[in-house]
């Protein structure tokens, strides 16, 4: 008998943070705009985020090296274009840098997205889809 634990592809995403406090401020604001909550710290310094269960984690890398994610992007779902706009604005106001303003994306029909870099340089985005 197979045990299925959820319907998604991932169990969680972990991103390294060089300054956890700055990253918490950024993610509380940017993800809060999407209805994703800070679920608090875990025993080893991890900060957990999710809607109903932990799905996104930030912390200092376990190997003690500097956080780095060149070439990777973590995408978060948005329910509306307003959430995408709020995510981008909140992230910029809380230590993030712009990697692509909120707006339509020509590479996917109906895509509306925004891109940011968090305080550690990780690239994140949010997408919603509107009628093309």
Can you give the residue ranges of every domain in the chain? 13-61+73-129
Q: What does the pLDDT read at residue 1?
A: 40
pLDDT at residue 8, as a whole number: 61
Tens of pLDDT, residue by residue over 75-88, are 999 999 999 999 99
- CATH level 3 topology of 13-61+73-129: 2,3-Dihydroxybiphenyl 1,2-Dioxygenase; domain 1 (3.10.180)
pLDDT band at 69; cut points 50, 70, 90: confident
| pLDDT at site 91 | 98
pLDDT tops 70 at residue 95: yes
pTM: 0.85
Tokens matching residue 68: 């780095």
Residues 6+ apart with CB under 8 A from 87: 30, 31, 33, 34, 76, 78, 102, 114, 116, 126
User: Would you say residue 3 has pLDDT above 50?
Assistant: no
**Nearest Cα residue to 89 out of 56, 52, 122, 114:** 114
Quickly state the pLDDT bin for 7 (edges 50, 70, 90). Answer: low
Cα–Cα distance, 116 to 54 (Å, whole number): 22
Q: Count Cα atoms within 13 angstroms, Cβ side, for 51.
A: 6
Nearest to 31 by CA among 83, 71, 69, 73: 83
Helices (H), 13-56: 20-32
* pLDDT tens readout for residues 22-68: 999 999 999 999 999 999 998 888 999 999 888 999 999 888 888 88
Cβ atoms 36, 26 nearer than 8 A = no
132: pLDDT strictly greater than 70: no
Q: Tell whether the model's pLDDT for residue 5 goes beyond 80.
A: no
């Amino acid at each position: 008998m197979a045990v299925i634990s959820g319907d998604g592809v991932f169990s969680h995403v972990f991103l390294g943070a060089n300054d956890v406090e700055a990253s918490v401020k950024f993610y509380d604001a940017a993800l809060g705009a999407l209805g994703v909550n800070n679920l608090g710290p875990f025993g080893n310094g991890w900060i957990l985020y999710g809607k109903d269960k932990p799905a996104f984690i930030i912390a200092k890398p376990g190997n003690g090296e500097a956080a780095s994610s060149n070439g990777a992007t973590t995408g978060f779902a948005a329910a509306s274009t307003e959430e995408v706009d709020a995510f981008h604005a909140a992230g910029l106001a809380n230590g993030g840098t712009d990697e692509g303003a909120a707006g339509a994306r020509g590479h996917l029909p109906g895509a509306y997205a925004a891109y940011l870099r968090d305080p550690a340089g990780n690239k994140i985005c949010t997408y919603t889809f509107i009628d093309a």
